[in-house]
Each structure stands twice: as C-alpha cells, then as structure tokens.
Amino acid sequence: MLKKIFIASLIAVTAFACTACSNTTRNQLADQISKVAQLISGDVTGETGKSYATQWFEFTVVSITPVAEYAGYTPADGNRLLDVVITEKGTFSDPSPMGTFDFYLDSPSFDDYIYPLDPLDESMMPYEFTLEKGQAVDYHMVYEFPSDFSDLKLMYTEIDETEQEGVTFTINVEL
C-alpha cells in the first residue's frame, strides 16, 4: 500500500513540475494519475479494447457481443446470450490457475453473479487451465442472462491464495 501511495505522490509531483509541458504530455500524466488513483481505491473501471494488468496476468476484453446462439446452443425463453472475447497473458513468475470462474457478470438486477456457460467448443475458455508466464491465450466466454436485465458489468476481482480481495476490474457492457 505504501508503494502505491509513493507512486501516486511521485506522479502528482511530476504533474505539478510539468507546467511547461505540452498539452499531450499533461494529458498523459493526468491519465496515469487517474489509473494510480483507481488502483489505490481498489477499483478499476475499464473499457473494451484496453489492456489491464492484474497481479498475475494482463487481460484485454476484445469484444462483448449479444448473439442469438453459440456453437448450437440457444438461450432458454426469456434469456439472452452474450459472447465475450478475452485475451490473457501470463505475467507472474509462477504458473497461474485460471478458468471460467475468473470473470463474471454483475448487475443491480441480479441476486447473484452470472458465470459463463461451461465450454461448448474449443474456442471457449476451459473451465480450468494454467497460464504460464509469457503465454498468451484468446478465448470466448458465453453468458446467459435474463433479457430484461440491464446495467450489466463484466467483472474480475483479484483474490489471493488466502482469499483476500484485491483490485476489482469492471467493464461496462453496452447492449
């Protein structure tokens, strides 16, 4: 925690010292300050197409697309499917356990989180796998949710081996 505070302070001092910098440089510094502030708060609100670093891996939500069916699977009456394409790259020195349990949908309408369907084909994220340092993978995750739910968010929360929660990453879903 002290390291994060130190980094935030360093960025703030740099920003104030950069009064003669170009608008582009000031904007880049402002973006960095915002990112550090989000990390300190424990939450990161992101967007599709950008990469985010967790303690164990980097990820990019490439796309989030409503689909009528996936690999021959159609949703139950009153439900919809959402196809999420994600890229993950291992950054931790040791292999990291990964799987469909990592990313979930949330909404104020939900009583509980919604996790992706079990893999329907080879393109979908396996239920469990190991991500090695430097290894990059691309997978689909397909979620089924009630059609009348809105304000969906795709989320990932860091949870360490002692069950302590870290940063929560949130990507708003535009339907």
The domain ranges of the chain are: 2-41, 44-172
* pTM confidence score: 0.75
164 pLDDT band, cuts 50/70/90, is confident
Q: What is the mean pLDDT of the chain?
A: 84
Supply 69's token pair: 């069916």
- DSSP state, 70? B
Instruction: Name the CATH architecture for the domain at 44-172.
Output: Sandwich (2.60)
User: Which of the four pLDDT bands, split at 50, 70 and 90, describes residue 159?
Assistant: confident
d(CA 133, CA 95): 6
More confident residue, 151 or 58: 58
Rounded CA-CA distance 156/30 in Å is 25
